[in-house]
Amino acid sequence: MGALKLGRKAGDRATRKYFLVGVSSAFFVTLAPPATAEGISLNGFVQSHVAARTSRVDCADGTECDFPAIDLRGELAAEGKDAAGNAGFLGRFDLLRDIALAETRLETRELYGDLNSEKLVARLGRQVITWGVGDLLFINDTFPKDPVALFTGQPLQNFKLGSDALKLNAYTAPANLEIVIAGFRPDNTPTGRRFVLPDPFPAGLPRRIEEPGNSVGELEVSARAYRYLDNWELSGYASHTHFHTQARRVIAGEVVGTYPRLNTVGASLTGSALKGVFGLEMGYYESVQDREGRDPSIDNSQFRGLIGYTQQPWNDATLGLQLYGEWMRDSHNYRETLPEGFPVKDRVRKVTTLRFTQLFAHQTVTFNVFTFVGLSENDHYIIPSLRYAFSDNLWAEVGANVFGGNRNGTFGSLQDNRNVYLTVRLGI
Amino acid sequence: MKSFQRIILPFIAAVVAMSAAPARAADLSADEIVKRSIESFYYAGNSMRARVSMKLINREGKVREREMTILRLNLGKSGDQRYYIYFHGPADIKGTSFLIWKYPAKDDDRWIYVPTLKLVKRIAVDDKRSSFVGSDFTYEDVSSRDLEDETRVLVRNEDLGGRPVYVVESKPKTPADYSRRLSWIDRERWLPLKEEYVDARDEPLRTYTADKVEQIGGQWAVTVRTMKNLQSGHRTEVVFRETEYGVGIKEDIFTERYLRDAPAQWVR
């Protein structure tokens, strides 16, 4: 389970993976009733993907400059369910030849088993979990993500990383409950191997990452309760988790990246209104290891909120708008303690997004543009794409990742990484 | 007493005979004909399960295929319905499913589940004239259409392929991709056997044909149907297999839980 080529956190993560493989295997054995099996379905694809940098920039040694992503990927997915639907499994594996980084990896995207009863469902193993009502904006979904995949134009399915978790669902009359107990898995954040990024730390200092360990106390627990109110859906969320991006600071002459504890609580509401779909989500991020907001290396506690509306202006078209805000709780303390030379974050970060999708030619051609506009940071990120399905099994997509605006902004800081991409996928 | 029998009994007999006789064109308005047609075509049985194959064929004869299971439940006399559509193939969309809460008097609620992202997303509701998964059928053709969306007149009675039919002309109340629609509705089985859509320039737009009609569990059903776009040359052929009515599906199947995890009892 996981990468054949193990990185610097190999020992720690490998131990956890083998533990999970062991537990998952035991789980699968308990639910394998071959006499009643419906059979196993297999499918997959082969895919080539290339992203070419269009920004004119002098890259540092060790950064893939012209082509930050070139890869060949083969995916095989197997799934099965017993006839009564009481047990099932799914495995989705990618064999990846990463030409840009000259690596070959076997990635377990998903591998889980299910046990179902009328009121209770248990799922154990690596699984993708998506919560919330935002479109590419996440508040109560604190599960691991892959911004590298997004920023290099990989298909959207690669944006969500699987969590190694036990998920329990209880279906009760007042509300449905979902509880997720997961091991830590970081986001795949951009690094200097593919990206040109501003780095406020001195270039010569060694770097080190400390990931949360395997003890019970380091597990992440998230819960969601949800129900319909007429035809509206109301959800409440709470998580005892970690930040999945690094908090970095200099300790004894080296830059140490850690993943501090994070508690979140929030709610969402979505339903039909005004000939469209309306969504509202909010949450509070309690930065457990920096409650006073005086540690500039750790994100301050925040309120986050978004409001979204999607409508179909005409046939085969979708228009979506979102307004998103992050309110830093202890802005004064943050500014007081921020070292010189570090970019100052706004007290309120405001972002608006726009999605427009139009399908043509019996939905064989898809034009899509998704735009982030940083209203407070004066930056933007535009993702136009055009996909053509040659047949049921073969499609190609061209697109771009256009970052721009204020270089201190979240998106503007990525503007040396503008790229165009091409993906071709053949289903098997 | 005899006079009572002479007068009353024939009267009762006549009433009974009239109520048992098949409805005739003169008896029914165009609205009533279309209402009965919608009931027979979209509401047959209290519930339904079918395995459905869809072929999307372009002008050059290139074929794309969609294989799905459709579940339906009628919710009492309100006319509300629940639909669940699960895609078995092609591989790229395998596991994708749709949930539709259909209301006769207001916009539907619709959700899609994207399995690779484990994402349940609501779909904007004002798009019932949009193509259903790239086919020549619209969402409205797949789930029910609303009686109130059109005005209509009965044009004539005739025979179509040996079946007695009403020919009804319908016009949308608000602008749509078609300006009018002629429907050939079976006078006994109440199924639409043929429909012709005409655009605003009075050019033929789409043609629907019922290619095979079968009796399943006491219900007459169109088990093979085609929708052809006369302007693009694209057509969609749909075959309903394993159609069952009155199968006892519960309402909780039509919720997010089963959208995420297809109910094995029904989706096979």
ipTM for this prediction: 0.86
Q: Return the residue of B nearest to A361 by Cα.
A: B134
Which of B112, B130, B136 is the best substitution to test chain A (most A C-beta atoms within 10 A)? B130
Query: Which residue among A311, A316, A359 sits closest to B126, beta carbon to beta carbon?
Result: A311
Q: Please tell me the distance in Å from B110's CA to the nearest CA on chain A.
A: 9
Asked whether A387 and A371 are in contact (CB, 8 A), the reply is: no
Mean pLDDT of A350-375: 96
C-alpha angle A184/A185/A188, rounded to 5°?
155
Return the higher-pLDDT residue of A286 and A331: A286
pLDDT score, position B21? 42
Per-residue pLDDT at B59 exceeds 90 = yes
In single-letter form, the type of residue at position B151 comes to: T
User: For B107-152, what is each residue's pLDDT tens digit?
Assistant: 889 999 999 889 999 987 666 778 888 999 988 888 777 888 899 9
Give the residue-averaged pLDDT of A296-319: 92
Residue B126: the pLDDT is 67
Can you tell me the mean pLDDT for B205-231? 95
The Cα B81–Cα B75 span in angstroms is 6
User: What mean pLDDT is predicted for residues B172-197?
Assistant: 94
**Residues in B touching A393 (Cβ below 8 Å):** 90-92
Contact between A312 and B91 using a beta-carbon 8 Å cutoff:
no
Asked whether the beta carbons of residue B116 and residue A128 sit closer than 8 angstroms, the reply is yes
Report yes or no: B75 and B103 within 8 Å, Cβ to Cβ. no
Among chain A residues, the shortest Cα distance to B55 is held by: A392
Residue-averaged pLDDT of chain B: 88
Minimum Cα–Cα distance from A123: chain B residue? B261
CB-defined contacts A:B, below 8 A: 111
Listed residue (A122, A140, A183, A187) closest to A161, CA to CA: A187
* Residue B216 or residue B77, greater confidence: B216
Q: pLDDT value at position A78? A: 95
Count other Cβ atoms within 10 Å, centred on residue A48: 16
pTM: 0.88
- Is the pLDDT at A27 greater than 90? The verdict is no
Which of A279, A363, A428 comes nearest B133 by C-beta?
A363
- What is the average per-residue pLDDT within A200-229? 91
Whether residue A307 contacts residue A269, with contact meaning beta carbons closer than 8 Å, is answered with no
Greatest mean pLDDT among A7-11, A233-237, B177-181, B247-251 lies in A233-237
Which residues, listed in sequence order, are joined to residue A75 by a DSSP beta bridge? A45, A94
Which range among A175-189, A315-329, A339-353, B34-48 shows the weakest confidence by mean pLDDT? A339-353
Spatial contact of A220 and A243, defined as CB atoms under 8 Å apart: no
Q: What is the mean pLDDT of chain A?
A: 89
What is the rounded distance in angstroms from the CA atom of residue B96 to the CA atom of residue B115? 6
Q: What is the pLDDT of residue A11?
A: 42
B126/A312 touch (CB, cutoff 8 Å), yes or no = yes
CA distance B261 to B110: 17
Cα(A181)–Cα(A218) distance, rounded to whole angstroms? 11
What average pLDDT does the segment A215-239 reach? 95
On the question of pLDDT at A173 being above 90, the answer is: no
- Of B117, B177, B264, Cβ closest to residue A83: B264
A199, pLDDT greater than 90: no
pLDDT tens-digit readout, A126-165: 999 999 999 999 999 999 999 999 999 999 999 999 999 9
Chain B residues within 8 A of A358 when measuring between CB atoms: none
B35 and B58 Cβ atoms separated by less than 8 Å: no
- Cross-strand bridge partners of residue B80: B75
**pLDDT tier, B26 (very low <50, low <70, confident <90, very high otherwise):** low
Scanning every residue of chain A, which has its alpha carbon at the shortest distance from the alpha carbon of B100?
A231
Q: Do A277 and B92 touch (CB under 8 A)?
A: no
Report the range of poorest mean pLDDT among A15-29, A302-316, A413-427: A15-29
By C-alpha distance, the chain A residue nearest B124 is: A276
**CA-based torsion, A305, A128, A424, A364: positive or negative:** negative
pLDDT value at B56 more than 70: yes
- Please give the Cα distance from B187 to B194 (Å, whole number): 13
Q: Which of A38, A81, A316 sits opposite B131 (nearest CB)?
A: A316
Nearest to A59 by CA among A375, A417, A422: A417
> Which residues does residue A5 pair with via DSSP β-bridges, in sequence order?
none
Q: What percent of chain A has pLDDT over 90?
A: 72
Average of per-residue pLDDT across A367-394: 97
Q: Is the pLDDT of residue A187 over 80?
A: yes
The more confidently predicted of residues B91 and A19 is B91
pLDDT above 70 as % of chain B? 89
Contacting residues of A for B91, CB less than 8 Å apart? 43-45, 392-393, 427-428
Do A363 and B123 count as a contact with CB atoms less than 8 A apart? no
Instruction: Calculate how close chain B gets to A406, using CA atoms only, in Å.
Output: 32
The distance of B161 to chain A (nearest Cα, Å) reads 31
Q: Which residues of B touch A156 (CB under 8 A)?
A: 117
**Residues near A3 by beta carbon (within 8 Å), at least 6 away in sequence:** A105, A106, A107
The tens digit of pLDDT for each residue in A231-270 reads: 899 999 999 999 999 999 888 889 999 999 999 999 999 9
Over residues A71-120, the pLDDT tens digits come to 999 999 999 988 888 999 999 999 999 999 999 999 999 999 999 998 99
- Residue B153: pLDDT over 70: yes
Which two tokens mark B69? 């299971």
Picking from A126-135, A182-191, A336-345, B80-89, which range would have the lowest pLDDT averaged per residue?
A: A336-345
- The predicted pLDDT at position A202 comes to 82
Which class for A272: exposed (0-12), middle (13-18), buried (19 or more C-beta within 10 A)?
buried
A85/B263 touch (CB, cutoff 8 Å), yes or no: yes
